[in-house]
Amino acid sequence: MRRTVLMLAAAAGALLLSADGASAQSATIAQLSGSYTPVGRLPAGTYGVTANAMPVTFVVDLRARNPSAQLLVQQGGTETNHDVKFVNTSSWTGKDRVDQFSFWFDQGNDVLVTCTVARRESHRFSGLCKDAQNREGWVEIMGRAGEFVGPGVWYGPGQS
């Protein structure tokens, strides 16, 4: 679970943080901050960060053709690492900015969680997470304000 969270954090980090004019080759690993409300803890009808959210770090590694990530969840003074697996990375050509992506991870105790996040602002992705029982959770991943980034291509301020 901790490994999956680390991987999610990594992926989000790479997707959100960027340096002006940088490329996936020159800026391959990124760490992004965020929050995660585990599935089953998101109040019914609520879609966003809640008081039940735990701080996370999303670590993304873009060195490989298919990005990898980890989501690191902090709770009660401990950190749990979750390996993150991305869905449909073949569409990440590096030519267009990605504004939505999906990933999954094992939350532990055989609970597989699938999340689909969308760009809410230039530097922020968030979205709904679900498990096989349709319990809902929420994840938010943040980069530096005002900077765009997408898998394979890093967008600096003012670029698109």
pLDDT for 92: 63
Q: What is the pTM of this model?
A: 0.72
What is the residue-level pLDDT of the chain in tens, covering all 160 positions?
444 333 443 444 444 433 333 343 434 567 788 999 999 999 999 999 999 899 999 887 765 556 778 899 998 889 999 999 988 776 665 566 678 889 999 988 888 999 999 988 877 899 999 999 999 999 999 876 655 544 444 333 333 3
pLDDT for 27: 43
What are the residue ranges spanned by the domains of the chain? 2-154
The residue among 150, 145, 71 whose CA lies nearest residue 113 is 71
What number of helices (H) and strands (E) belong to the chain? 1, 10
pLDDT for 155: 35
pLDDT for 28: 57
CATH of domain 2-154: 2.40.128.120
CA distances from 114 to 26, 35, 43, 76, 130 (A): 30, 16, 18, 24, 5
| Residue with the two structure tokens 């690191």 | 72
Question: 3-state DSSP call for residue 11?
Answer: helix
Contact 82, 4 (CB under 8 A): yes
pLDDT for 90: 65
d(CA 75, CA 80): 8
